């Protein structure tokens, strides 16, 4: 967008920040899915949202500069500028990831083989006029309950609707981004488009060092996404403890990138076309940028500057809360798996990470603390484990009851 297309106008910084947060989180989902699925259409959506983010960040910066009238204002608003800059950094990284597809930079086949472990399936579907989803709300069709599939966002007549809820109605012509397990996606995609969903077939495993490099990227991706979630939680609750966990995750992503570089260089000597690894290198670099951005979001908390009220209110506008709870001894969750207790079904909360107790060995037998990223139904919780969950406040209260703790972030 040309510079003369943007001019200052009075806008709500809170609304801009909320929209930037929603856009940044969606961009992460879309960019990785575009690459792992090799989907040009999803990659194009990423670039459209990146252009939108450029405009949002410019307007936010203008409004913040107008608001700073003295040194005290500057000190209070500095962390807000950090949040704006971090969201823009996530957007730029997502655009770089999408260009791996659009510019045919390519990825090794091992990356496709990692698809089932890397992300839930994401598809872009346009609702047809004859679709059984048309003119019905998400609540009416019980989408997530019946299929496990979530509607991440809807594009309607060029405008994006983030975080659709039970009252949101699908319309013919809506472009919907669905994410979930492959069997659920197959059903929902067919209902939406009246076409059959054809998932990509993963190839056979290849070179061991290359597989290790790919595994590192998948883990980096999961850690970076978690870091962004936790960073927004840190600023929402002004929690230095959660911000410290973001710092640890960022350090682990850095370490994973170092290992990735070593394995990629080793693999380069064993394949016929080392240039084919360029896409993998691009993906790793962009992933590391996202973890850096998460740290920038929480930097004001880490440096004792606190959270500006406008940032906290903007995070609340996403209609989701992030809670950090510890499993109490003899609580309902002590010694059971997430699936056995049906945590997602009973509370509506999505457990995004579990951190094992520091004085206990993790399930692999290694001593010390360990993150379990994107835990599933078979993940077991025991007393002392700390877990991070995302969802509604009412769901957080129910989940806290199960854990034997108070809902919120513990400091």
pLDDT value for 368: 42
Strands 350-355 vs 380-381: parallel, antiparallel or unpaired: unpaired
**Is the sign of the CA dihedral 9, 13, 19, 20 positive or negative?**
positive
Q: Which residues pair with 324 in a beta bridge?
A: 388, 409
CB 189, CB 178: distance < 8 Å: yes
How many helical (H) and strand (E) elements, i.e. helices and strands, does the chain have? 15, 10
Structure-token pair, residue 182 = 């492959």
DSSP state letter for 360: S
Provide φ and ψ at 124, rounded to 5°.
Answer: -110, 120
Q: How far is it, in rounded angstroms, from Cα 157 to Cα 160?
A: 8
- Calpha distance 192→180 (Å, rounded): 15
Quick one: CATH architecture of 320-403?
Answer: 2-Layer Sandwich (3.30)
CA distances from 23 to 91, 152, 397, 409 (A): 8, 11, 27, 25
Distance of CA 187 to the CA centre of its chain: 24
Per-residue pLDDT 10s for the chain (411 aa) are: 444 466 666 667 778 888 888 888 888 888 887 887 777 888 888 998 899 899 888 888 888 877 777 777 777 777 888 888 898 999 999 999 999 888 888 676 666 555 444 456 778 889 999 999 999 988 888 887 778 788 888 888 878 787 687 788 999 999 988 887 778 888 899 999 999 888 766 555 555 666 777 778 778 888 888 888 888 878 877 777 778 888 988 999 999 888 888 888 887 777 777 777 788 888 889 999 999 999 998 888 888 776 677 777 677 666 567 788 889 999 989 988 888 777 776 777 888 778 887 544 444 333 344 667 668 788 899 999 988 888 777 778 889 999 887 554 444
Do the domains 320-403 and 117-193 match in fold? Answer: yes
CATH number of 117-193: 3.30.70.1450
Pick the closest to residue 390 from 407, 366, 403 (CA basis): 407
- Contact (CB, 8 A) for 259 and 195: no
Nearest residue to 259 via CA among 209, 299, 298, 308: 209
Task: Judge whether 371 and 355 are in contact, CB under 8 Å.
Answer: yes
pLDDT at 292: 94
Domain boundaries, the chain: 117-193, 320-403
What SS3 state is found at 185?
Answer: helix
């Amino acid at each position: 967008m040309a510079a003369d297309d943007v001019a200052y106008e009075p806008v709500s910084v809170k609304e801009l920040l909320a929209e930037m947060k929603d856009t940044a989180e969606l961009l992460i989902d879309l960019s990785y899915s575009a690459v792992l699925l090799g989907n040009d259409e999803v990659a194009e959506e990423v670039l459209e949202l990146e252009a939108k983010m450029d405009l949002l960040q410019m307007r936010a910066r203008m409004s913040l500069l107008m608001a700073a009238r003295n040194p005290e204002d500057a000190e209070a608003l500095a962390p807000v500028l950090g949040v704006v800059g971090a969201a823009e950094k996530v957007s730029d990284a997502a655009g770089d990831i999408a260009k791996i597809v659009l510019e045919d930079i390519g990825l090794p086949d091992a990356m496709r083989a990692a698809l089932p472990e890397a992300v839930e399936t994401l598809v872009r579907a346009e609702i047809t006029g004859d679709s059984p989803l048309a003119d019905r709300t998400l609540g009416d069709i019980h989408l997530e309950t019946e299929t496990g599939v979530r509607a991440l966002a809807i594009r309607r007549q060029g405008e994006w609707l983030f975080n659709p809820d039970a009252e949101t109605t699908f319309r013919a012509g809506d472009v919907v981004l669905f994410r979930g397990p492959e069997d659920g996606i197959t059903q929902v995609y067919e209902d939406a488009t009246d076409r059959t969903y054809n998932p990509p077939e993963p190839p056979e495993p290849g070179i061991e060092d290359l597989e290790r490099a790919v595994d590192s990227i998948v883990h980096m991706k999961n850690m970076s996404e978690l870091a962004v979630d936790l960073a927004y939680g840190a600023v929402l609750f002004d929690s230095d403890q959660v911000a410290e966990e973001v710092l640890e995750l960022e350090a682990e992503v850095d370490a994973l990138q170092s290992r990735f570089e070593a394995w990629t260089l080793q693999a380069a000597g064993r394949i016929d076309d080392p240039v084919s690894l360029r896409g993998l290198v691009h993906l790793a670099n962009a992933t590391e940028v996202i973890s850096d951005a998460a740290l920038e979001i929480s930097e004001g908390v880490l440096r004792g500057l606190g959270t500006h009220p406008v940032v906290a209110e903007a995070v609340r506008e996403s209609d989701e809360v992030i809670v950090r709870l510890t499993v109490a001894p003899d609580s309902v969750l002590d010694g059971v798996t997430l699936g056995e207790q049906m945590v997602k079904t009973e509370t509506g909360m999505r457990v995004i990470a579990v951190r094992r107790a520091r004085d206990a060995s993790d399930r692999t037998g290694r001593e010390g603390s360990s993150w379990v990223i994107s835990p599933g139904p078979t993940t077991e919780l025991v007393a002392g484990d700390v877990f991070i969950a995302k969802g509604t406040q009412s769901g957080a209260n129910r989940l806290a009851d199960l854990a034997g703790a108070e809902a919120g972030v513990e400091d």
